[in-house]
Amino acid sequence: MRRQFLSNPQEMNVMFDGYSTANIGRYLRQIRRFPLLEAEEECVSARSWRENADGRALHKLLTSHLRLVVSIAHTYRGYGLPLSDLISEGNIGLIQAGHRFDPEKGFRFSTYAIWWIKAAIRDYILRSWSLVKIGKTRSQRTLFFKLRQMKNRVAADRDGDMTPDLVKLIAGHLGVKEHEVVYMNQRLERDMSLNATAQEEDRTGEWQDRLPDETPDQERVLAENDEHEYRRKTLRDALRTLRDRERYVFELRQLAENPIPMEALASELGISRERVRQIEARAFEKICRAVRSVQLRTVVADQQVGAMGRRPTP
């Protein structure tokens, strides 16, 4: 059965029974009524949607993740836009993720949906600023969301003046050209003074009141670095379980910044598109098994350490 894709925000909002995000408190109370799904329930709902176009199953899957959208939207409040709008745009990204999610790949829906939710919110932020001249290339998007953070890290002058050395440092760190850093900095400073008035729901204040303190917390940074390194090592170890062709296909289809289309990969390897799909799926399964095995060993080791710590002293 062919599934119909909801193509605009008005159609998409119907999925949430008309629940409005205009009143944040009321909206949060409403979405708490939706139960969170276990992994098995999530797979059943996703399969029912993909195979039978079951709208109720899709609704169940999406509404169980509305709280995730709110959590992500909160992290973007520093751009001075109404939280209700950020949530609404994030919900659109959530629905797009629901339409594309494949439970057979072995990952939880939340892991997949996070990218779509963030992308939708970021697109909205970009549209809301005067970005006609800024554009939407990858490097410009990176600058838009990272420049202020980088300047704060090096205690740069917030009035917009940056030394050539600082421009070079930021450009090198973000992987963009120096003139792009200068141009974006000028555009952002011209578009928004930190002392300008900002309106959000029923509150009025200055833009600087909306900006989060981005001074890095050292404990959090260390924990995030440890977690990042753990994930990278786990993935590297999992990749070693693949055969050469499986790893080649998996890396080009799943790990590359610009994934190669199946048709192009099939032509390069001299096999059919379906065969590429099968190799990719098999590689995914092996990766998932390897990752779950590592996680299980970690849990068991933690439990053993905990048990040793609880042993009574003779």
Is the same domain home to 71 and 179? no
> Could you tell me which of 19, 48, 22, 51 has the C-alpha nearest to residue 34?
19
User: Over pLDDT 70: what percentage of the chain?
Assistant: 61
Average pLDDT, the chain: 73
Q: How many domains does the chain fold into?
A: 3
- Residue environment code for 78-88, b if the CB has 16+ CB neighbours within 10 A, otherwise e: ebbbbbbbbbb
CATH number for the domain spanning 225: value is 1.10.10.10
Identify whether 304 is part of a domain.
yes
Is the same domain home to 113 and 144? no
User: How many Cα atoms occupy the beta-carbon half-sphere of 40 within 13 Å?
Assistant: 0
Identify whether 210 is part of a domain.
no
Amino acid at 154: V
Q: Tell me what the mean pLDDT of segment 107-136 comes to.
A: 75
Identify whether 243 is part of a domain.
yes
Residue 145 has pLDDT above 50, yes or no: yes
- Give, for 59, the enclosing helix (H) or strand (E): helix 55-63
Identify whether 247 is part of a domain.
yes
The pLDDT-based confidence of 193 (bands split at 50, 70, 90) is very low
The pLDDT-based confidence of 275 (bands split at 50, 70, 90) is very high
The pLDDT score that the predictor gives to residue 214 is 43
Q: Rounded to two decimals, what is the model's pTM?
A: 0.46
Is the same domain home to 237 and 298? yes
Range of the domain at 175: 138-191
Is the same domain home to 18 and 82? yes
Amino acid at 112: Y
SS3 198: strand
Instruction: Give the least confident one: 159-168, 179-188, 209-218, 284-293.
Output: 209-218
Residue 166 has pLDDT above 60, yes or no: yes
Residue 184 has pLDDT above 70, yes or no: yes
Instruction: Give the least confident one: 35-44, 199-208, 259-268, 293-302.
Output: 199-208
- Give, for 200, the enclosing helix (H) or strand (E): strand 197-200
Identify whether 207 is part of a domain.
no
Identify whether 290 is part of a domain.
yes
The pLDDT score that the predictor gives to residue 45 is 92
The pLDDT-based confidence of 8 (bands split at 50, 70, 90) is very low
Q: Tell me what the mean pLDDT of segment 27-34 comes to.
A: 86
SS3 256: coil
More confident residue, 254 or 100: 100
The pLDDT-based confidence of 212 (bands split at 50, 70, 90) is very low
C-alpha distances out from residue 10 to 13, 65, 131, 306, Å: 5, 19, 24, 52
The pLDDT score that the predictor gives to residue 213 is 45
Instruction: Give the least confident one: 159-173, 201-215, 272-286.
Output: 201-215
